[in-house]
Amino acid sequence: MPYVKEVFDYLIRTSPAQTEFYQAAKEVLESIRPALDKYPKYRQHKIIERIVEPERQILFRVNWVDDNGVIQVNKGFRIEFNSALGPYKGGLRFHPSVNAGVIKFLGFEQIFKNALTGLQIGGGKGGSDFNPKGKSDNEIMRFCQAFMSELYRHIGPNTDVPAGDIGVGGREIGYMFGMYKKLANRYEGVLTGKSLKWGGSLGRTEATGYGAVYFAKYMLEDRGETLEGKRCVVSGSGNVAIYTIEKLYQLGAIPVTCSDSSGMIYDESGIDLELLKELKEQKRVRLSEYTTYKPMAKYTPVEEYPEGVNAVYSIPCFAAFPSATQNELNEKDAEILLANGCICVSEGANMPSTPEAVDLFVDAKICYGPGKAANAGGVATSQLEMQQNASMTNWTFEEVDAKLAQIMKNIYVSASTTAAEFGEPTNLVLGANIAGFRKVADAMIEQGLV
Is residue 67 located within the same domain as residue 159? yes
Active site annotation includes 26: no
Is residue 228 located within the same domain as residue 278? yes
The reported pLDDT for the residue numbered 270 is: 98
Averaged pLDDT for residues 160-170: 95
As a whole number of angstroms, the distance between CA 369 and CA 214 comes to 11
Is residue 95 located within the same domain as residue 235? no
Which of these, 146, 173, 142, 208, lies nearest to 374 by C-alpha position?
A: 208
pLDDT digits (tens, 9 = 90+) for 333-392: 999 999 999 999 999 999 999 999 999 999 999 999 999 999 999 999 999 999 999 999
Which of these, 175, 179, 173, lies nearest to 192 by C-alpha position?
A: 173
Domain count, the chain: 2
Averaged pLDDT for residues 123-132: 98
As a whole number of angstroms, the distance between CA 33 and CA 423 comes to 13
Is residue 85 located within the same domain as residue 218? no
pLDDT digits (tens, 9 = 90+) for 78-101: 999 999 999 999 999 999 999 999
In CATH, what number is assigned to the domain containing residue 264?
A: 3.40.50.720
Among 89, 125, 372, 439, the one annotated catalytic: 125
Kindly tell me if the per-residue pLDDT of 224 is higher than 80: yes
Q: How many CB atoms sit inside 10 A of residue 432's CB?
A: 30
Reported as type and span, the H/E element at residue 163 is strand 160-164
Using 50, 70 and 90 to split pLDDT, how confident is the model at 1?
A: low
Is residue 255 located within the same domain as residue 161? no
Residue 314, in any domain of the structure: yes
Is residue 261 located within the same domain as residue 154? no
Q: Which of 188, 218, 249 is the last residue of a domain?
A: 188
The reported pLDDT for the residue numbered 2 is: 78
The reported pLDDT for the residue numbered 374 is: 98
Averaged pLDDT for residues 222-244: 97
The reported pLDDT for the residue numbered 450 is: 84
pLDDT digits (tens, 9 = 90+) for 415-433: 999 999 999 999 999 999 9
The reported pLDDT for the residue numbered 4 is: 85
Residue 400, in any domain of the structure: no
As a whole number of angstroms, the distance between CA 190 and CA 31 comes to 34
The boundaries of the domain holding residue 285 are: 207-364
**Burial level of 1, CB count in 10 A (0-12/13-18/19+)?**
exposed
Is residue 93 located within the same domain as residue 228? no
The reported pLDDT for the residue numbered 438 is: 97
Q: Is the pTM of this model over 0.85?
A: yes
pLDDT digits (tens, 9 = 90+) for 195-213: 999 999 999 999 999 999 9
Residue 172, in any domain of the structure: yes
